[in-house]
Structure 1
Amino acid sequence: MICQKTKLCIWLLGINLFISTFTFGGGYVVVPMIRKYFVSRKKLFSEDELVDMAAIAQSSPGAIAINLSTLAGFRVAGMTGAVISCIAAVIPSLVILVFISMFYVAFAANPLISAVLKGMQAGVAALIVDFVVDMCSMVIKERSLLLTLMIPTAFLANFILEINVAIILAVCCFLCIVRVWVNERRQKKWGNY
C-alpha cells in the first residue's frame, strides 16, 4: 500500500508537469493555476500563503514559475516535494525547447505556428489581468490607504513617467518597511498602557 506522502509526491509530480506543460507566458500565469489546484481544490495551503510564496518567488533569482512550483512543493511535502516540483516544472519546457530547436527553421516560417503563438499571447494577457485583479483585491481588503494608493501610483510612475520598475519596487518596499515599523511602534506604545 502506498503511504500518504508518496501519494502526495506522485500528485505533485503530475500536477507540476501539467501546469508547466500548459501555461505559456511566464511565472505570473502559473499563480492562477497553483491557486486552482493547490488552494481551491486540494486546500493544501491558504490564499495568503500563496501570495507570500508568489512574492518570494518573484523576488528570488530565477524563473518565477519554477521558484513558485518549488515553494509550493516544499510547503506541501518538504524538501522531497520541492525537488520533485522543481524537476517537474523544468521538464516540459526543456523537452519543448529541444524539439523546437531541432526544427527551428520549419517552425519560424510556418504561418500556422505564428498564428497559434499570437493566440497564446492573448490568453497569457487574460491570465495576467486575472492575477493582477486578484492581487489588487487582496491589497484593498487590507484596508490600508497607503497600500491601496500604491497600486495606481506605481502604475502611473511606470506607465506615464516611465520610471524604472526597480526604483518603483525599491520605493514600495521601503514604504512597506516603514509602515510595518510604525505599526509595531504603535502596538508597543499602546501595549504599555
Structure 2
Amino acid sequence: MKKDKKFYWTLFFSTFTLSAFTFGGGYVIVPLMQKRFVKELKWIDEEEMLDLVAIGQSAPGPIAVNASIIVGYRMAGILGALLTTLGTVLPPLFIITILSYFYIAFRENVIINALLFGMQAGVAAVIVDVVINMGMTIVNDKRLVPISVMILAFIATAIFNVNIVFILLISGAIGAYTTYRVNLPDKKEEG
C-alpha cells in the first residue's frame, strides 16, 4: 500500500470522524474501527483487528485511544500512531471545551438529562454487539483453548466475582503459553 499524503489523511480523518460521531465510550468505537479499517479500507484483516483491540484493552488508558495508537502504528509506524491519536483525541477535546461553557444550562435541563439517559440503552446495545461479534470470531475458529478461557473467564466474573486483574493475568499467561507452543519448531525437523 502506497503511503502518500492521501494515505495519511485517510488514516487521520478516519479516526477523527469515528471519534467525533461516536457516543458512549471506547467500546462503541471498536466495531466502527473494525468496519472502517477491515471492511471498507481492507487495510487489516479481521483476526489481526481482534488482536489489536485485545492489546488496546489490556493497556492502561482509554480503549479508543489505545486501539487508535495500535492501529496507527501497525499501518504507518510512529507517524501513524501520532496521527490516529490526534484524530481520536481532538473531537472530544473540542466537544468538551464547547460543552463546558454551557454546562450549567445542561445540568438542570430535564430534556437533555432524559436524552442522555435514553442514549445509554443504545450504547449498551452496541457494546453487547461487540462482545457477541468478537466472541463469535473466537468460536468460529473452533480452537478449544480460547473458547475454554472465554467461558471460564465469564463464569469466574459473573458467578464467583473474581477480580478482573487475576482473570487478565491468567488469560494472558495461557495465551502466551499456547502461542509459544504453536510457534515451537517441530522436534522431528531438528532431528
Scaled by the length of structure 2, the TM-score of the pair is 0.88
**Residue type at the aligned position of 2:29:** V
- Report the alpha carbon displacement of residue 50 of structure 1 after superposing the two structures with TM: 0.8
- Report the alpha carbon displacement of residue 119 of structure 1 after superposing the two structures with TM: 2.5
**Residue type at the aligned position of 1:133:** I
Map 1:63-82; keep pairs closer than 5 Å. Answer: 63-82=62-81
Contact 1:28/1:128 (CA < 8 Å) preserved in 2? yes
Matched, 1:17 2:11: no
Cα distance in structure 2, aligned partners of 1:110 and 1:190? 72
Name the CA shift for 1:146/1:37 in 2 (closer, same or farther; >3 Å). same
1:134-188: per-residue Cα shift (whole Å, max 9, x none)?
1111211332222212222211211111111111111222222333344456x53
**Residue type at the aligned position of 1:70:** I
| C-alpha RMSD of the superposition | 2.0
Share of identical aligned residues, percent? 37
Cα distance in structure 2, aligned partners of 1:184 and 1:40? 29
**Residue type at the aligned position of 1:117:** L
Aligned to 1:119: 118
Stretches (4+) displaced over 3 A: 180-185, 189-193
Name the CA shift for 1:179/1:71 in 2 (closer, same or farther; >3 Å). closer
Which is worse superposed, 117-126 or 34-43? 117-126
1:3-46: per-residue Cα shift (whole Å, max 9, x none)?
96111122222221110011122222111111111110111111
- Report the alpha carbon displacement of residue 126 of structure 1 after superposing the two structures with TM: 1.4
Cα distance in structure 2, aligned partners of 1:146 and 1:60? 23
**Residue type at the aligned position of 1:155:** F
1:69-91: per-residue Cα shift (whole Å, max 9, x none)?
12222223332222111111101
1:106-148: per-residue Cα shift (whole Å, max 9, x none)?
1111112112212221121111111111111121133222221
What SS class does the counterpart of residue 9 from structure 1 fall into?
helix
Scaled by the length of structure 1, the TM-score of the pair is 0.88
Name the CA shift for 1:4/1:156 in 2 (closer, same or farther; >3 Å). closer
Gaps of 5+ in 2: none
Aligned to 2:172: 173
Gaps of 5+ in 1: none
Cα distance in structure 2, aligned partners of 1:4 and 1:141? 34
